[in-house]
């Protein structure tokens, strides 16, 4: 069972939020590989964070608590910066992460393959 779980989740670190014994949200932290020694900028280990809170529990502090926990988990594993990638126009997500202290950092360019 543990091997199956590790294969499905990989290196993600997962925290859950419960209310009255029911899981109502989760935060996933994925540690990015350590930066190479030859990196031009100051090498900082980063982590990606992704949160999900059930509709009926949004606006009650569950997401904010999960983000705080995700930051602590990331820092405990050597990350000094946490990224929240929002790739679609999602004003609610931008507002949520902004309220937790996240802000723009650089520019991410992409191109479809094929």
| Domains of the chain and CATH, by start | 2-36+43-99 (3.40.630.30)
Mean pLDDT of the chain, nearest integer? 87
pLDDT at residue 79, as a whole number: 93
Nearest to 82 by CA among 9, 30, 15: 30
Distance from C-alpha of 74 to C-alpha of 44, rounded to nearest angstrom: 12
pLDDT digits (tens, 9 = 90+) for 85-103: 987 788 999 999 999 999 9
Q: Which has the closest alpha carbon to 70: 94, 50, 90?
A: 50
């Amino acid at each position: 069972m543990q091997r199956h779980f590790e294969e499905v989740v990989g290196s993600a670190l997962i925290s859950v939020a419960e209310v009255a014994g029911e899981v109502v949200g989760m935060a996933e932290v994925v540690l990015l590989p350590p930066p190479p020694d030859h990196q031009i900028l100051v090498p900082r280990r980063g982590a990606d964070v992704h949160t999900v809170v059930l509709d009926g529990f949004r606006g009650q502090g569950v997401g904010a608590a999960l983000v705080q926990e995700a930051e602590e988990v990331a820092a405990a594993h050597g990350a000094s910066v946490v990224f929240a990638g929002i790739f679609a126009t999602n004003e609610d997500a931008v507002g949520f992460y902004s309220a937790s202290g996240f802000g723009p950092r650089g520019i991410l360019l992409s191109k479809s393959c094929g």
